[in-house]
């Protein structure tokens, strides 16, 4: 009996030892899969769709490496965000709120501190060793010209350095060294994944299609030359990948941040197109591997909204450097252009103080002003203007409310001139069915009472429906750092005194273009001819919405 007990006890000990070893061995048999996401500015949104395709087809992601825009998507996914979470942030976030263009420039045109702070809040201030999925971001050390796979300290700072395109963003200082965009020497860092010990490497290269390039265009030539220099590094590093995925994202799409949904779809389709190759690479390492679809849980919509809200508030509270900025706007009452400059931020905080010159012989002139404004609150502008044709200075103000679903509310006042005040509400996209967009503007204007004008005739109301036709639909044309979407404009203005119906129509026809500077800062430029009911004509030139 004692012998049997000893025998069973020995067998039990052997089983307890062998079972964990067999489980560990089974785990080790499954190949480790790494995902490498290359850089490509706005084209990098395609990574979101690609990850969705991998999840739906049961392709595991055990570690992840990113360069430039790829490091942003990679970092968020490695930090626990779901595909839906990342897409939600990409589609609805106004990235211009995270960026600042300080003048004079220091190291780059755009200050990226806001992006770093925003990402830091989204990632909960995590360091690399706290990430749920092992992650490295790739950057270039400016002092040595060598690429570095960063995996120490705060993830948000590593991502900021990895996406710091030279000239656009200033280099990022980390421990006394200065780093810029990893895409300069390692656009698709599959070699980093190999060094991390990955068995299967899936790399994504956001290559541009130069088949339709214009060799007489200096911009196209510079782009192709840069791509040729970077291409050698890309070929060397991607040679270590088992599968290299190339989404079909075109030539001129680097700044098209408004096309998030399009890029996500292109990434998803590319993932499906290469899926057989991906599965074959995994099965070559482990023939018995079973692909089980899964979905990273991420956050609920309410949780995500709360996190993004906190992140935006942190960015808004950031102290900004004392800045000198150019000013270009149109007078809200008389629509003449005003050029000048202002000082803002630093000790002035959200206030600005500056000088403008109004280009109108009657109501223009030298103008000093103080303004205040925030994205979510609107803006206030107080001015004093000395016009050549007026003995006394003109005092006035302009107030603009926050934009609410394309609805813009404005109010203006001037102490001299034919118009005393004006209140308006406008929505340029009341009906949007590309290539045709219809809008409507309503305004009430108070005229300054004259001796020969009855008081009841000093209050005017107007409605101005307009139609924009975009001949090329949603297509945007790149012009250096600006994306242009041309249109043809028609506007009918119907104005009448409030106390009696006496409609005075005028018709404006012209051309214009939606503009996106760096793909982020929207503006609208138009030039038209206005014809009144008395056959009087005047040229209208407008530039609206431009604010850095």
- Active site residue ranges: 68, 181
Backbone phi and psi for residue 172, each to the nearest 5 degrees, phi listed first:
-105, 130
Residues 6+ apart with CB under 8 A from 100: 110, 111, 113, 114, 320, 323, 548
Q: Which residues pair with 278 in a beta bridge?
A: none
User: Taking the mean position of all CA atoms in its chain, how far away is CA 168?
Assistant: 14
Q: In sequence order, what are the residues at sequence separation of 6 or more whose Cβ sits closer than 8 angstroms to the Cβ of residue 105?
A: none
330: closest CA among 391, 428, 410, 445? 410
Q: How many alpha carbons lie under 13 Å from residue 283 in its C-beta half-sphere?
A: 11
User: Which residue spans within 70-184 are E strands per DSSP?
Assistant: 135-141, 146-150, 172-174, 177-181
Which neighbouring-strand residues pair with 290?
none
The DSSP H or E segment spanning 9 is helix 2-29
Closest residue by Cα to residue 209 from 239, 254, 154? 254
Q: What are phi and psi of 140, to 5 degrees?
A: -115, 130
Structure tokens that stand for 538 in this block? 């005047």
Q: Is 12 helix (H, G, I), strand (E, B) or coil?
A: helix
For the purposes of burial, counting CB atoms within 10 Å of the CB of 541, is it exposed (0-12), middle (13-18) or buried (19 or more)? middle
Supply φ then ψ for residue 460, to 5 degrees.
Answer: -115, 145
What is the distance between the alpha carbons of residues 251 and 262, in angstroms, rounded to a whole number?
14
Name 28's Cβ contacts closer than 8 Å, sequence gap at least 6.
Answer: none
Q: Are 385 and 354 in contact (CB under 8 A)?
A: no
Joined tokens for residue 43: 């084209």
Residue labelled with tokens 């040729």:
228
């Amino acid at each position: 009996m004692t012998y049997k007990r000893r025998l069973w006890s020995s067998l039990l000990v052997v089983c307890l030892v062998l079972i964990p070893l067999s489980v560990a061995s089974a785990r080790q048999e499954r190949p480790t899969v790494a995902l490498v996401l290359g850089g490509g500015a706005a084209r990098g949104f395609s990574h979101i769709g690609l990850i969705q395709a991998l999840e739906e087809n049961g392709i595991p992601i055990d570690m992840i490496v990113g360069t430039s825009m790829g490091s942003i998507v990679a970092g968020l996914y490695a930090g626990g965000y779901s595909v839906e979470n990342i897409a939600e942030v990409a589609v609805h976030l106004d990235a211009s709120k995270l960026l600042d263009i300080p003048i004079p420039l220091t190291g780059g045109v755009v200050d990226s501190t806001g992006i770093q702070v925003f990402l830091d809040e989204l990632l909960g201030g995590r360091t690399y060793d706290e990430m749920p999925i092992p992650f490295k971001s790739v950057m270039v050390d400016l002092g040595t010209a060598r690429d570095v796979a960063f995996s120490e300290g705060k993830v948000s700072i590593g991502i900021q350095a990895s996406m710091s395109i030279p000239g656009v963003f200033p280099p990022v200082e980390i421990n006394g060294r200065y780093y810029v965009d990893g895409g300069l020497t390692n656009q698709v860092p599959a070699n980093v994944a190999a060094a991390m010990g990955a068995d299967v490497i899936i790399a994504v290269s956001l290559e541009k299609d130069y088949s339709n390039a214009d060799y007489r265009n200096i911009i196209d030539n510079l782009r192709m030359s840069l791509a040729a220099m970077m291409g050698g590094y890309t070929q060397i590093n991607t040679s270590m990948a088992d599968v290299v995925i190339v989404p079909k994202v075109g030539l001129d799409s680097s700044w098209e941040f408004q096309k998030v949904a399009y890029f996500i779809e292109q990434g998803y389709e590319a993932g499906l197109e290469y899926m057989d190759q991906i599965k074959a690479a995994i099965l070559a390492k482990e023939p018995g591997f079973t692909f089980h679809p899964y979905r990273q849980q991420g956050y609920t919509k309410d949780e995500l909204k709360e996190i993004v809200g906190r992140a935006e508030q942190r960015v808004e509270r950031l102290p900004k450097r004392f800045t000198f900025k150019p000013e270009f706007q149109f007078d809200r009452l008389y629509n003449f252009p005003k050029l000048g400059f202002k000082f803002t931020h630093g000790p002035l905080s959200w206030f600005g103080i500056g000088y403008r010159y109004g280009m109108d012989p009657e109501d223009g002139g030298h103008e000093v002003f103080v303004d205040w404004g925030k994205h979510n609150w609107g803006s206030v502008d107080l001015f004093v203007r000395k016009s050549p044709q007026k003995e006394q200075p003109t005092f006035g103000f302009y107030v603009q409310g926050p934009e609410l679903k394309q609805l813009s509310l404005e109010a203006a006042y001037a102490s001299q001139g034919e118009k005393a005040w004006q209140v308006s509400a406008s929505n340029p996209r009341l009906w949007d069915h590309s290539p045709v967009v219809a809008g409507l503007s309503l305004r009430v204007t108070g005229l300054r009472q004259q001796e020969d004008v009855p008081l009841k005739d000093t209050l005017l109301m107007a409605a101005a429906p307009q139609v924009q036709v975009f001949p090329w639909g949603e297509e945007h044309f790149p012009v250096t750092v600006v994306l242009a979407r041309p249109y043809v404009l028609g506007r009918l203005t119907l104005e009448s005194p409030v106390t009696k119906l006496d409609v005075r129509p005028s018709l404006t026809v012209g051309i214009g273009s939606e503009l996106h500077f760096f793909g982020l800062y929207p503006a609208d430029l138009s030039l038209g001819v206005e014809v009144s009911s008395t056959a009087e004509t005047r040229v209208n030139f407008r530039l609206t919405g431009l604010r850095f």
